Structure formats: structure tokens, C-alpha cells
Amino acid sequence: MSLTDHLVARIRQDGPMSVADFMGECLLHPTLGYYTTRDPLGVAGDFTTAPEISQMFGELVGLCLAQSWMDQGRPAPFTLCELGPGRGTLMADILRATRSVPGFHEAAQVVLVEASPVLKQVQAATLKDYDAVWIATIADLPDQPLLLVANEFFDALPIRQFQRDGTGWRERLVGERDGGLTFGLGAIGPQVALNDRLSDTKDGDLVELCAAAIPILTVIAGRIASHGGAALIVDYGDWHSLGDTLQALQNHEHSDPLVSPGQADLTAHVDFEPLAVATRACGCRHTRLTPQGLFLERLGITARAQALSKALSGSELDALIAAHRRLTHPDEMGNLFKVMGLFPAYAAPPPGLEP
């Protein structure tokens, strides 16, 4: 049975499903889900993340976190955590870049939060030289200082979509027609979570909510507020959701989310505003939303690229130049991706970011 057949059968039995339920099935169905059945990254996969583009990204992220650790008195032990670690490339680069930081590796307990059994195996191979552990949910994090990075993690969390209709909202749903999947709208009703959006939307406007993000962010912010540390959330998105941002990516090309469920990556732009609100509610501070390109430039990516270029020539040099541009240029990932840092009320923000 294909995932389409499974979804159609479920809809015929239970009725149309929310976009959030649809995303959850597509990405994490135990036997037919996208993340549970494949390694989606790289040239042979469907998309490429910043750590896979260049080692410079992970190196600078690692040194940023290490500086926060030093600024807060070098606490030991502490948790060094990544959410959704992909192939483990980012964590490997973080650990390599921080080897020369006195006491950092000795104090660090490396923890990875990963749902995909396929990617867990890849991560284990990548990080075979390190004593890393895997946990199923972020609630299992130790009660101690936390240094965390979430790169392209929140964009994969399921969202619900609501279209404004007068002073009410219709939820966008996934239904069935002639054996296939189709979008439709539910009945008009109030949405308490969207009361504040009646002032900045009009009829027909679509707003997205990611309820799954708040419990995760609350755990992160709570650990940092209570025990110290810092977190870097790096993702594409902006402040204040507006419009349909659900997208499917297959073979590095955009596709219809309903056409090949389970065969394409599904993501949505991150609305950083509710993440910031949840951070403050936990007694933790957050930085201004900063474009990825500006963040990396502040951390010295150009100087790092120049240093690496001295040993390169020909196609290798061209690849380095292209990687630097892709990570930082406004027309590439530089403006689309944003960075928000979390830090305790008594501490300085992570380097490269402003409170």
C-alpha cells in the first residue's frame, strides 16, 4: 500500500484531516514516512542544508556556542545538543572546531534528538569518534546547562492553516476526491489562538500555526533559564506568519505537496514570533531575529574562507567561493534564513547576535 492509499482510506473513514496531521503522516509514518525510510540530504537526496554546503557553517556555530560557554564561567558538565541532526555533519564540525577550547570537550555531554532510524545510523557513523547519545524527545534532556543548535528543525514541524472568513476562520483541510488528495476548507469558527490576527489580516488571508513548536521551545528556554547555556535556532521564516508557506521538495525541485506523499520533504516557514513569546514566558531572553548571512559575517566567515582558500585552487577554490556566497548572499540563503539566539537573563547574548 502506498501512503496515498493509506491517507485516502483514513480520510474516507474519519473525514478530512488537518494539514498538521497530513504532514505528520507524510514525514513520520512508521513504514511509509519520508524521514523514516531514507536519507534525504545531499546531491542524491532532495535538499541540502548549510552544514552540508560547507564546514565553515558548523565551525562558526561551534565557536559561537563555545564562547557563550566561556562567558558563563565554563560550567561542567553541560549538554551539547542538536535537534534533527541530519547526517551528523553539523555536530561533527562543531566538535572539530572546539577541540582546542580548554575543557570544552571534557565538560560536554553530546546529545542528539532524532526521530529517523535511518538518519540515526548515519549520524552514529559520522560521530563514531565521539561519545554521543540519542534521545527520543527533548523532554529527556538532562537538568543541567544546555548549549543547543536547531538548524532547519522547526520548519519540519507540522502546521495547521486557517483562512480568515469575516471575524472567524476556516481550517484548511486535506480531503479525498476520485481516489486522490485535495485541499478544502472546514466550517467557519472562532480560533482563540488567532484573536490577535484579526487586526492585521483581511478576508481570504491565510495564517499558519505550529502548536508543536511551543512545547519544544519551552523545554529549551526552561533549561537555559534555570541552568544556563545558549541556543541557536536557524531556519527559514520570519516574524509574524502570513500566507501559505507549505512546500514540498523532491530531487531539489519544488513539487505539489499532495502528489507524492511520503516521497517528498514537507516544510513550512517558521514564525519566530510565538517562539520568542514562549521564550520570554520561561524567563529566558532571546536575541533579535538576524539574517543568517549577517550572523555568519559577524562571526568571521569571510576571514575563515580566505584562510581555507590558501590551500585550494581550481575547482576546489571555486566550490569554496560558491559555498561562501550560498551561505551569506542576500539572494541565496543569507536573507531567507534567520537566526534567533536564546540566553539566560544574567548573561550576554551569543556572539554575532544582538539582544
State pLDDT tens for residues 1-35: 899 999 999 999 999 999 999 999 999 898 999 88
40: confidence class by pLDDT, cuts 50, 70, 90: low
- Give the per-residue pLDDT at 290: 98
Q: Which residues of 152-185 are buried (b: 16+ CB within 10 A; e: fewer)?
A: bbbbbbbbbbbbbeeeebbbbbbbbeeeebebeb
Q: What is the pLDDT of residues 61-114, one digit of tens each?
A: 999 999 999 999 999 999 999 999 999 999 999 999 999 999 999 999 999 999
- Give the per-residue pLDDT at 160: 98
Give yes or no for residue 295 having a pLDDT over 70. yes
Give yes or no for residue 46 having a pLDDT over 90. no
The average pLDDT across 36-62 equals 82
Angle value at C-alpha 78, between 77 and 83, nearest 5 degrees:
150
Give yes or no for residue 42 having a pLDDT over 60. no
The region of weakest confidence among 69-83, 112-126, 291-305 is 112-126
List the domains of the chain with CATH numbers.
3-32+160-208 (no CATH), 34-156+212-343 (3.40.50.12710)
Looking at the chain, the whole-number percentage of residues with pLDDT higher than 70 is 98
36: confidence class by pLDDT, cuts 50, 70, 90: confident
Q: What is the pLDDT of residues 182-214, one digit of tens each?
A: 999 999 999 999 999 999 999 999 999 999 999
Q: What is the pLDDT of residues 250-289, one digit of tens each?
A: 887 889 999 999 999 999 999 999 999 999 999 999 999 9
Rg of the chain over all Cα atoms, to the nearest angstrom = 21
- Give the per-residue pLDDT at 41: 63
Distance CA(30)–CA(331), nearest Å, equals 37
Give yes or no for residue 45 having a pLDDT over 80. no
44: confidence class by pLDDT, cuts 50, 70, 90: low
- Give the per-residue pLDDT at 115: 85
- Give the per-residue pLDDT at 1: 83
Q: Which cell numbers in the block locate residue 202?
A: 483581511
Give yes or no for residue 341 having a pLDDT over 90. yes
Collapsing DSSP to helix, strand or coil, 133 comes out as strand
Q: Which cell numbers in the block locate residue 209?
A: 500555526
Q: What is the pLDDT of residues 314-336, one digit of tens each?
A: 999 999 999 999 999 999 999 99
Residue 333 CB burial class (10 angstroms; 0-12, 13-18, ≥19): buried
Let me know: does 112 contact 123? Beta carbons within 8 Å. yes
